[in-house]
Amino acid sequence: MARTRSPIPSDLVLESTLASRLNQLRQFRNLSKKELAQAVRMTEERIDDIESGLETWLSAAERQIIAKALYIDPNLLKEVEYRPADSSHPSYASMSVEINTSLTDSILSGMRDLACPQCGNTLRCSVQKRVDINGEVIDFAKAFCQICPFTLK
């Protein structure tokens, strides 16, 4: 199928998260991750981070260039972006410190099949090593939901 620049059909049901929507629109344009990465001068890893839900929002410049490469209105991306720092976001505001602490403990103790506190989907969890200001390596729990905007960082 040839690359198409036609408008997004109005009967196309758009995905509700940035990750799945970018994936959807990229495939609609018949672009591989590599091709899109080249078109927007980003690394393939960066595209992968966005499509896997690790990155939940784009800078204005990134949004513009991705939208241009996909021949879409930047607002199609903006409307599904989610900034964790935005405490007015309902799912973030309702997140208690208690839940985050218990999730962190579970991940650090090796548990992986943890349910998302927002939607119940299985979280993608990982432990990262970070060096603190004293040069000591500390374990750092990370998790994100592939369905809803929940992220533990």
Interface contacts to Zn ion, rule CB under 5 A: 116, 118-119, 121, 145, 147-148, 150
Question: Which residue lies nearer to Zn ion by CB, 11 or 113?
Answer: 113
Count Cα neighbours of 108 within 13 Å in the Cβ-side half-sphere: 13
| Residue in 89, 95, 59, 84 with CA at minimum distance from that of residue 74 | 59
Which is closer to Zn ion, CB of 32 or CB of 126? Answer: 126
Got the DSSP string for 62-130? HHHHHHHHHTS-THHHHTT---TT-TTSHHHHT--HHHHHHHHHHHHTT---PBPTTT-PBPEEEEEEE
Q: Report helix, strand or coil for 18.
A: helix
Q: For the chain, give the number of residues.
A: 153
Nearest approach, Cβ of residue 146 and Zn ion (Å): 8
Residue (96 or 134) nearer to Zn ion, CB: 96
Min separation Cβ 147 and Zn ion, Å: 5
Write down the least CB distance from residue 111 to Zn ion, Å.
17
The residue among 8 and 119 lying less far from Zn ion, judged by its C-beta, is 119
Min CB(122)–Zn ion separation in Å? 9
